[in-house]
Amino acid sequence: DQQVKQNSPSLSVQEGRISILNCDYTNSMFDYFLWYKKYPAEGPTFLISISSIKDKNEDGRFTVFLNKSAKHLSLHIVPSQPGDSAVYFCAASVYSGAGSYQLTFGKGTKLSVIP
């Protein structure tokens, strides 16, 4: 049972336009959400996060929106740049006992920004 879903395996966007990456989740106990970016042959790197008590978090060109009622979050990149071309993973955090939080990752969306 996939608890974090990224239904679009790939996305192509023109340079300068907005990129919108979507993520849906099923576990209402998730309380923190993160986006990771991964280039080929490298490990994932943290991009931006949002607590479940907020509905928006912004960091430069990157904004994450959270709709708790719909169990949906999205990552907006404006304007998109060729260097943003990567695989983006959505992740959700839940308390798993004994002071430990666990991350569940989606399958990732490959973003291609076309110059």
Partner 1 sequence: NAGVTQTPKFQVLKTGQSMTLQCAQDMNHEYMSWYRQDPGMGLRLIHYSVGAGITDQGEVPNGYNVSRSTTEDFPLRLLSAAPSQTSVYFCASSYSTGVGNTIYFGEGSWLTVV
Residues 93, 114: Cα–Cα separation, whole Å: 32
Give the count of residues interacting with partner 1 (CB under 8 A). Answer: 29
Residue 45 CB neighbour total at 10 angstroms? 10
Tell which positions 57-86 bind partner 1, by CB under 8 A.
none
Mark residues 18-57: x for contact with partner 1 by CB under 8 A, - for none. -------------xx-x-x----xxxxxx--x-x------
Mark residues 82-101: x for contact with partner 1 by CB under 8 A, - for none. -------x-x-x-x--xxxx
Burial class, 31, CB count within 10 angstroms (exposed 0-12 / middle 13-18 / buried 19+): middle
